[in-house]
Structure 1
């Protein structure tokens, strides 16, 4: 039986809270300039700025194929939820993807699998692709133990989200081992491939596309080593330099 065709590749970058307003918009204009390159036919690209610059970022990217993302959303469309951001409003602002459940939000703001799943359902309800960050907190030195522990910890993070969204919508899973975020090197390639293959099986049989990214100190050379398990990369500070982002795009798009 031939293997199932893999989803279209995808690369994206989150700016977190590193930039100010003007440097954010300058960066988004830089991403816009990358659109239309040769890799366009083989790769999707997204950028996730802060909430304040979303409207202007949408205007900048309007004529491009670059997808605009948001860094979070709430699970209700309207209501007395001071300080939260509505998924309905995000869609109206031009957002196509929303990042959910990042390790920082889980650790610093107490976000649970239940909360993340509710947010994913709200995003899907509003026609926005949930990009759900998953990953284990602890790292084992023995490779076989590390893979098994990672799968066990990530499984409820994935299954809760898949249960909360319609079967026919797209979902993106960003596998980011918490211990690899901000580390000097990405996680071991064999570890990433073994874990992401197992995670892909959890989504087997869905009608909607399920793409899997790797994040966690990713950079040039990362994708080629883990392409067997993932569909692309979710980049952080390394890609805050547009030239670095371009290198990774060319690598993933041409691999």
Structure 2
């Protein structure tokens, strides 16, 4: 387990272009002045829309903030109208690609086979997939753990080795008023951690939680996850700063344990 803690934000399609640029500027200033982010103890990543990717790369160029994409094509080039390849994303400075989010699966019919192809495309082009996994219905933690570990192995079947960021997002908790219960998240996350640690060539891989995540959750989870994947809560940079502070405290504690 790495001492580093990851905090990411997906903007989905909430911001217009000018609004996104203003948010990038504020977060760039925040990240540049945040000791844990500046030192690398906390990895901060931002995933905007495709049209906002280049302004984001520009805005964060002198900061440690990593830019990701909300999706990625299964293929590297060819007659695929409307798609954006991992090869091109890597070329312009993107380092992460969100894959398999529940909304992509539900709204656009992405199957597990498609998720596996997109995961492989990201990895073979040097991008870290932010692989979104989670059970649809609320079930016992042991059953949820078995399901998401199965999803993990299916998504990575045939993929080249490389760092993977597993985002545990129980579908029933996405957009809810509260995250899943702490005990449930911790149990599933520990099962995912064991599976991730066993991945060949997966050095640096992490397990983060998303699904109505907010302040206080990292501390409550007591090290069971390597970070959080935030949504609308982080539209306010001051709120994001609160979670970055908590992530910095967790990273410091992990460093002490390792020492």
Q: Is the 8 A contact 1:196 1:212 kept in 2?
A: yes
What does residue 216 of structure 1 align with?
211
**Correspondence 1:62-73 to 2 at 5 A:** 62-73=61-72
Which string of whole-angstrom CA distances, capped at 9 and with x for unpartnered residues, describes residues 178-208 of structure 1?
1111111111111111111111121223332
**How many residue pairs align between the two structures?**
245
Question: Aligned equivalents of 1:102 and 1:227: distance in 2?
Answer: 25
The change in CA–CA distance for 1:226 and 1:164 in structure 2 (over 3 A counts) is farther
CA distance in 1, matches of 2:9, 2:53: 14
Partner of 1:214: helix, strand, or coil? strand
Gap change, CA 1:115 and 1:227, over 3 Å in 2: farther
Q: Distance in 1 between matches of 2:3 and 2:145?
A: 22
Could you say which residue in structure 2 is the equivalent of 1:238? Answer: 233
Q: Who is 2:242 aligned against? A: 247
**Residue aligned with 1:12, SS:** strand
Q: Give the whole-Å Cα distance in 1 for the aligned partners of 2:105 and 2:150.
A: 14
Deviations 1:208-251 (A, max 9, x none): 22200000111110111114320000000111111111111111
8 Å CA contact 1:7, 1:211 repeated in 2: no
| CA distance in structure 1 between the partners assigned to 2:158 and 2:8 by the alignment | 24
Q: Report the CA distance shift for 1:209/1:164 in structure 2 as closer, same or farther (over 3 A).
A: farther
- Tell me the CA shift for residue 166 of structure 1: 2.4
Q: How does 1:1-255 map to 2 (within 5 A)?
A: 5-36=1-32, 37-40=34-37, 41=39, 42-140=41-139, 146-167=140-161, 169-206=162-199, 207=201, 208-255=203-250
For residue 44 of structure 1, give the secondary structure of its aligned residue in structure 2. strand
Q: Output the CA distance in 2 between the equivalents of 1:134 and 1:219.
A: 19
Query: Could you state the TM-score of these two structures normalised by the residue count of structure 2?
Result: 0.91
Distance 1:55 1:112 in 2: 29
How many angstroms apart in 2 are the aligned matches of 1:203 and 1:11? Answer: 18
What is the distance in 2 between the residues matched to 1:84 and 1:153?
30
- Which structure 2 residue ranges, 5 or more long, are not aligned? 251-259
Q: Give me the whole-angstrom Cα distance separating, in 2, the residues matched to 1:156 and 1:80.
A: 32
Bigger mean CA offset, 154-163 vs 74-83 = 154-163
Structure 2 Cα separation of the partners of residues 228 and 43 of structure 1: 14
Shift of 1:152: 2.6
CA change 1:80–1:7 in 2 (3 A) is farther
How far apart are 1:165 and its partner, in Å? 2.9
Q: What root-mean-square deviation, in Å, do the aligned CA atoms of Structure 1 and Structure 2 show?
A: 1.3
Question: With structure 1 as the length reference, what TM-score do the two structures score?
Answer: 0.92
Give secondary structure in 2 for the equivalent of 1:163.
coil
